Chains A and B, each alone.
Chain A
Amino acid sequence: MNDTYLAGTSDSDGFGRDTPASGAGAEVSISRHRVEGQDVILRTEGIEKSFGPLIVLSGIDLQLRRGEVLGVVGDNGSGKSTLVKILCGFHRQDAGKIFVEGKEVEFHSVKDARRRGIETVYQDLALVPALTVYQNLFLNREMTRYGWLRWLSNKKMRQMARDYLNDIKVQIPSVDALIENMSGGQRQAVALARATHQNSKILLLDEPLAAMGAKESALVIDLVKDLSRNRGVSMIIIDHNYTHLFELCDRLNVLQEGRITLDLNVEDTTIEALTEIMVSEYRRRIALGQQELKV
């Protein structure tokens, strides 16, 4: 039944007609197609996951290209979080394969995934509020002097933190500012900076703009774009808020009932169209439920 629905949507999606500059859209998708073959940094094949009798993921085939920001959309309980937790090594999949830069990998822990350059960025969990920006950037990778004394080279770390933040155009008052005195957007920016500073190639972001004002969001949006375009960092973002996703992402995957049912370039679609898809799916499921009840 899932398949018939899928076929239906792909026939009648009509995004090409809805988009004002359909010609440009076509060009973009062609150029994207060319990249697809060579530069897929993360790929999954038939990822399945159940918790007891509950099937959460039933065959996820996902592709993340280098430098791309991919949004994963789905209702509550569609399996978004489970998917991210498998990719960051927290859960282990029941079936299916994960490939990083073409090589099959097995994650037994979050550390395993991190070693492959995959990192989950949490806004609040990761940073130590009582420490400064540069101390957080270098946490557990401190530069030291005097051998076994492990005396901190604060001057060097400060300078490197300043240079790096300038490099990725993050504007914060000072590298000596305490995290606890910073806004949500600044914290998220520092968390992103730390992950990329420590050579993570793939970032998994869970609602990176949650509870942020417009100015705050702008800081994070700019950073995400800069990291993906200029530094080749690839990101997967899960979020409920379509506006956020449309601002942040290059491509969207719709996750429904444990499968990816749609793969859209953001340029080729609109918030309204996406909402329509999600709502019609919701209605369809209600209708289906009513039918089943009648039977």
Chain B
Amino acid sequence: MSTTPKEETLAPAPRFAERGLARRISDLFFMRPEATIFIVAVALIAYFSVRNSAFYSYTNVVTMAQYTAPIAVIGAGEVLLLDLAEIDLSAGQIFLTSSWIVVILGYHGVPLGWGIAISLFICSLIGALNGAVVVWLKVPSFVATLGVNYVLAGWVLVASSDITTEMPGTTGKFGAIMGLSNWAEGLWGLGLVLIIWALLKGTVFGLHTTATGGNELGAAEAGVRVRMIKVWCFIIIAFVSALIGLCDSIRIGSLDPAAPGLTEMLAGVTAAVIGGTALTGGKATVAGTLIGAIVLGVLEDGFNLIGISANWFILVEGAVILLAMAVNVQLGRMTAKKM
């Protein structure tokens, strides 16, 4: 009775046409969220190296690597959380606090190696606490991690009596590996970013992170352990921020109790966002974040080199963020139309 003429009328689904080289390159550009920031980075590097030949000098590249590393690592950690449509505002303060934990443990006679291990463990626990408050107490991560940020900042001020302190471990081979040698911080940074990149791109954990951020209910329905995924992401960002923070402090040698953790964290989030990661979850790129961090590093360093006041840096940084985001959003819309 019920006739189904649909069987004849159903045309084969449209297939993507074979593409020429030019089309492929343009597609690569449109499809990849990192593309915009990559071009910005290349342009900036070209500009500064033309303006000042010292830009390519060994010491300057080292300086840029040292400046970029913490932003890239915190940014890469934030990518995991942004992918989940969460955020960790305490990452910058954890970055600072890890060194203070080592100092306080040192006062109580704990050897440096143990101090660092215990500090990393405590910071991971702080990450787990962030995750637990978000997942089980259902406090939005923005608020939960903001609270933790101020608690840690307050603890640093109280424990240090607001006195600038020397960082222990700034001598010897151990110190060299942990941050004193020229490339130590840069290599630690690169290593941590690569690990997070591999985690997100290659593993079941990364896939489930994206799935949780993209459709939490659907992922949970499919049996993905969305709560554990979230807690682990908070632990990972806390751990890597703490570790790169230790490298940074050992390199610099002294600790400022009033250093603003939120600024450090926002630099990381900025790198992630201009790199093409969406704040709304489900779209994340660690590679873009690394390039974003390099752009911020190159900008700051380049301004110093060509003798423009550092005050201009913040203004230009803001303009770059606006521009990169505007281009990204427009490209995203064009991509959506093409599909």
Q: Which residues of A contact B (CB under 8 A)?
A: 19, 110, 125-131, 135, 139-140, 142, 144, 149-152, 171-174, 181, 186, 214-215, 217-219, 221-222, 225, 246-247, 266-270
Contact = CB atoms under 8 A, between A and B. Distances in A.
Given A127-B218, A221-B4, A174 B211 contact: no
A152 B207 CA distance: 9
B208 interface: yes
Nearest to B211: A128
Contacts of A215: 10-11
Contact of A140 (B1, B9, B223, B336): B223
A125 B217 contact: yes
B339 interface: yes
A140 B210 contact: no
A268 B224 CA distance: 45
B214 A219 contact: no
25 contacts: A125-B215, A125-B221, A126-B218, A126-B221, A127-B218, A128-B282, A129-B214, A129-B282, A130-B210, A131-B207, A135-B207, A139-B207, A140-B219, A140-B222, A142-B204, A144-B204, A151-B202, A171-B12, A172-B13, A181-B336, A215-B10, A221-B6, A222-B7, A247-B4, A247-B6
B32 interface: no
| Contact size range, B | 35 or more
Nearest to A24: B1
Nearest to B9: A218
Interface of B: 1-2, 4, 6-7, 9-16, 202-205, 207-208, 210-211, 213-215, 217-219, 221-224, 281-283, 336, 339
Contacts of B221: 110, 125-126
Given A142-B207, A181-B339, A266-B1, A130 B224 contact: no
Nearest to B212: A128
Contact of A130 (B217, B283, B336, B339): B283
Contacts of A217: 6
Nearest to B201: A152
A254 B55 CA distance: 79
B1 A125 contact: no
A173 B2 CA distance: 30
Given A130-B283, A139-B207, A266-B2, 13 more contacts: A126-B218, A128-B218, A130-B215, A135-B207, A139-B211, A150-B203, A152-B202, A171-B13, A173-B13, A217-B6, A218-B9, A221-B6, A225-B4
B203 to A, nearest CB: 5
A222 B214 contact: no
Interface centre among A110, A128, A150 (most CB of B within 10 A): A128
A193 to B, nearest CB: 14
Contacts of B1: 19, 246, 266-270
A90 to B, nearest CB: 11
